[in-house]
Amino acid sequence: MDLLVESILSPIYWLAAKALFFLSRSFLIPIFGVPFISAAAVLHFAKPEFKLGRAGYFFAISLFFLLALVSLKLIFVSLLFLPKSNFFPLWVLATYGCLVAMGILLGLASAARAMDAYGHRTYWFLGFIPIANLALLIKRPQEPKGLDFQRLAGNTLLIVIGILLIGTVKLQMEFLQRGVVVIVGNG
């Protein structure tokens, strides 16, 4: 009972509870909004000028999905320990931290691919739209480069690794849906 009263009166717990309420009631805003805003902020201040080819962009998207799955699993596994501890504000912070990291990764990859495909970063936001991101993936580069054996081998390797990452994500999602969670603990 004392923990309940202390948690209600503590401002950190109050802020964490408000953040969780925000997450549970309007999940679309944090799930899509936080990564989008973090990517917009990074791209506004950093203004990256590097370019990323189609194979590299495919690999980055695969890495994004893997990061999203790993962070999702870590967040849900940590929920098992929340009732026994008072680390709830850290859980909320970790949730938003994962969303920000995913947004930065996808934003930088989308901006670099837009630089290669269109010559400017204006269309970086297409990476956040599920079907429209195919425009970034399919669009040919503005300045085509010669395809020698080394470039072909590198692109093929990136695509194969990306397909393996997507396969790993699919397999892990099936484990999550079946409720298979392995927790390594002290006993």
Q: What is the pLDDT of residues 94-124, one digit of tens each?
A: 888 888 999 999 999 999 999 999 888 888 8
* Interval 124-135: pLDDT, tens: 888 888 788 888
Residue 6: domain span: 2-178
Among 13-17, 80-84, 102-106, whose mean pLDDT is lowest? 13-17
184 located within any domain: no
12 pLDDT higher than 60:
no
123 located within any domain: yes
Question: Buried (b) or exposed (e) across 112-139, using 16+ Cβ within 10 A?
Answer: bbbbbbbeebebbbbbbeeeebebbeeb
67 located within any domain: yes
183 located within any domain: no
Q: What gap in Å lies between CA 63 and CA 164, rounded to an integer?
A: 10
Q: Which positions ≥6 away from 133 have C-beta within 8 Å?
A: 61, 110, 126, 127
16 located within any domain: yes
How many CB atoms sit inside 10 A of residue 61's CB? 22
14 located within any domain: yes
Q: What gap in Å lies between CA 105 and CA 98, rounded to an integer?
A: 11
- Predicted TM-score (pTM) of the model is 0.72
187 located within any domain: no
Q: What gap in Å lies between CA 69 and CA 110, rounded to an integer?
A: 19
Q: Is 162 exposed, middle or buried (0-12, 13-18, 19+ CB in 10 A)?
A: buried
58 located within any domain: yes
Question: How far is CA 140 from each of CA 27, 72, 115, 124, 145, rounded to the nearest angstrom?
Answer: 35, 33, 11, 16, 11
Q: How many domains does the chain have?
A: 1
